[in-house]
Amino acid sequence: MADLSRLESNTFLIIGRAGMDIYPDPPGTRTEDATHFFTCLGGSSANIGVAIVKQGGKAALVTCVADDAIGRFCINQLDLYGIDRAHVRSVGGEARNSLAVVESRIEDHQSVIYRNGAADFEMTVADVEAVDYTKFSALITTGTVFAAEPSRSAAFRAFELARGAGLPLIFDIDYRPYSWPSAEVAADVYSRAGSLCDIIIGNDVEFGFMAGAYEKGLDKARALVANGAQIAIYKMGEDGSVTITPDREFRSGIYATDALKPTGAGDSFMGGFVAALACGRSLEEAINRGSASAAMVVARVGCAPAMPTTAELDDFLQTHAGPSAA
Domains of the chain, by residue range, sit at: 4-17+44-68+82-89+118-319
Taking the chain, what is the end-to-end CA distance rounded to the nearest angstrom? 30
Give dist(CA 9, CA 321) in Å, integer: 31
pLDDT digits (tens, 9 = 90+) for 154-200: 999 999 999 999 999 999 999 988 889 998 999 999 999 999 999 99
Judge contact between 265 and 297, C-beta under 8 A: yes
Burial grade of 31 (CB within 10 A; 0-12, 13-18, 19 or more): middle
What pTM was estimated for this model as a whole?
0.97
Give dist(CA 48, CA 41) in Å, integer: 11
Judge contact between 210 and 219, C-beta under 8 A: no
Instruction: pLDDT tens for the chain, 326 residues: list them.
Output: 799 999 999 999 999 999 999 999 999 999 999 999 999 999 999 999 999 999 999 999 999 999 999 999 999 999 999 999 999 999 999 999 999 999 999 999 999 999 999 999 999 999 999 999 999 999 999 999 999 999 999 999 999 999 999 999 999 999 988 889 998 999 999 999 999 999 999 999 999 999 989 999 999 999 999 999 999 999 999 899 999 999 999 999 999 999 999 999 999 999 999 999 999 999 999 999 999 999 999 999 999 999 999 999 999 999 988 887 65
pLDDT digits (tens, 9 = 90+) for 99-134: 999 999 999 999 999 999 999 999 999 999 999 999
Give dist(CA 86, CA 63) in Å, integer: 10
Element housing 48 (H / E): helix 44-54
What angle, rounded to 10 degrees, do the helices at 283-297 and 310-319 form?
90
Element housing 134 (H / E): none
DSSP code of residue 135:
G
The residues, any chain, with a CB within 8 Å of residue 199's CB and separated by 6 or more, are: 4, 168, 169, 170, 171, 229, 230, 231, 232, 233
For the chain, helix (H) and strand (E) counts, in that order, are: 10, 13
Judge contact between 73 and 291, C-beta under 8 A: no
Q: Show the 3-state SS of 188-242.
A: HHHHHHHCCCCEEEEEHHHHHHHHCCHHHHHHHHHHHHHCCCCEEEEECHHHCEE
Judge contact between 296 and 73, C-beta under 8 A: no
Q: How far is CA 218 from CA 91, 142, 185, 276, in A?
A: 40, 20, 21, 24
CA proximity to 266, closest of 200, 220, 310:
200
State the CATH class of domain 4-17+44-68+82-89+118-319.
Answer: alpha beta
Give dist(CA 297, CA 36) in Å, integer: 22
- N residues, the chain: 326
DSSP code of residue 96:
B
What pLDDT, on the 0 to 100 scale, is given for residue 274? Answer: 98
